Amino acid sequence: MDGGLPILEFDGAAEFWVPNLETFAAMGSDPEYVNVIQPDEANFIDAESMRLIVGVDYIVVENQNAVMEHGRTFPRTNYNG
Amino acid sequence: MKLSSLLAFLPMALANGFPGGPGGPGCPSRIPNSVGNATGAEGCCCLTFKASCTMNLERAFHVKLFYNRKKGIAPEEFNDYWANKHSALATNFHLRMGAIRYSQVCCPESFPRCAFPRFNRVANSCTTAVPLHTRTPRSCSGGWRTADP
């Protein structure tokens, strides 16, 4: 180890935000995706290499402002510190 | 729809205090306001930089797909196709399906590890580390790629 952080070995990433997970599921089975988008992906993407993460954003700074009100809250747990 | 009929909505929307807000003209109302313990959802609009827009994005689900380019094509070709050809197809699809935001993270091969001294305790680590089997990192001296002269 040289002390530097390892870098993920991907050539790129695409990200999108959807209002609910049903939308994400619908995207994958939509005829336009299956018949048009997915075949086009095969023109430049190695399908085997694809990896996925899904999460929700907790935005701390936005447009050079500290974010004081959030769209989601997370329960506080007791921790030292 | 005629422009005049669109304009007819405006006074009503302004009277409500949030033109283009959820349910108003010009802003999709697909984002649920009931997720989590949200407060202050009124006045959100996807087309402004108001704080409530941040809350809208936080209520969404963030999907991120990592991938490599197809074997046999160059990074430049991959980037060109992705930004200039694939997005032409993907734009309308994402809009129609209700995606709030769609973004492509491009060109990691342009930013070798040595461009980030904060994360490098060994100054010249980029010459020996990063076993990138799919790409050729740029030289350390290059650093950030600047705009064309």
Task: Identify which of A2, A75, A57, A64 has the alpha carbon closest to the alpha carbon of residue B123.
Answer: A2
Are the beta carbons of A15 and B103 separated by less than 8 Å?
yes
- The answer to whether residue B136 scores a pLDDT higher than 90 is no
The answer to whether residue B147 sits within a structural domain is no
- Per mean pLDDT, which of A58-62, A75-79, B42-46, B111-115 is the most reliable? A58-62
Instruction: Considering only residues B42 and A58, tell me which one the structure prediction assigns the higher pLDDT.
Output: A58
> H helices of chain A, where?
21-29, 31-32, 38-41
Smallest Cβ–Cβ distance between A17 and the set B38, B89, B100 belongs to B100
Note whether B141 and B126 are within 8 A (CB): no
pLDDT for residue B121:
53
pLDDT for residue A67:
86
Are the beta carbons of A62 and B51 separated by less than 8 Å?
yes
The answer to whether residue B65 sits within a structural domain is no
Interval B4-36: pLDDT, tens: 444 443 333 333 333 333 333 444 444 444 443
CA distance readout (Å), A24 to A58, A75, B17, B23: 20, 26, 32, 22
- Residue B44 binned pLDDT confidence (cut-offs 50, 70, 90): low
The answer to whether residue B35 sits within a structural domain is yes
Phi-psi region of B74 (alpha: psi -120 to 50; beta: other; left: phi over 0): beta
* Separation between Cα atoms, residue A2 and residue B121, nearest integer Å: 8
Q: Across chain B, which distance is largest between two alpha carbons, in Å? A: 65
* Separation between Cα atoms, residue A61 and residue B55, nearest integer Å: 12
ipTM of the complex: 0.91
Are the beta carbons of A13 and B104 separated by less than 8 Å?
yes
pLDDT for residue A33:
97
Same domain? For B84 and B27 the reply is: no
Same domain? For B49 and B79 the reply is: no
Same domain? For B127 and B81 the reply is: yes
- The token pair at A44 is 């430049």
pLDDT for residue B86:
97
> H helices of chain B, where?
3-7, 10-15, 51-59, 75-80, 87-97
Same domain? For B82 and B124 the reply is: yes
* Interface probe, candidates B31, B68, B79, chain A, greatest A C-beta count within 10 A: B68
Same domain? For B52 and B91 the reply is: no
The answer to whether residue B67 sits within a structural domain is no
Same domain? For B94 and B133 the reply is: yes
CA distance readout (Å), B17 to B3, B4, B20: 22, 21, 10
Same domain? For B48 and B98 the reply is: no
CA B146 to chain centre: 21
Same domain? For B35 and B87 the reply is: no
pTM (predicted TM-score): 0.66
- The answer to whether residue B79 scores a pLDDT higher than 60 is yes
Same domain? For B80 and B44 the reply is: no
Interval A24-74: pLDDT, tens: 999 999 999 999 999 999 999 999 999 999 999 999 988 888 888 898 889
Same domain? For B88 and B128 the reply is: yes
Give the domain extent around B138. Answer: 75-142
Q: Specify the number of domains making up chain B.
A: 2
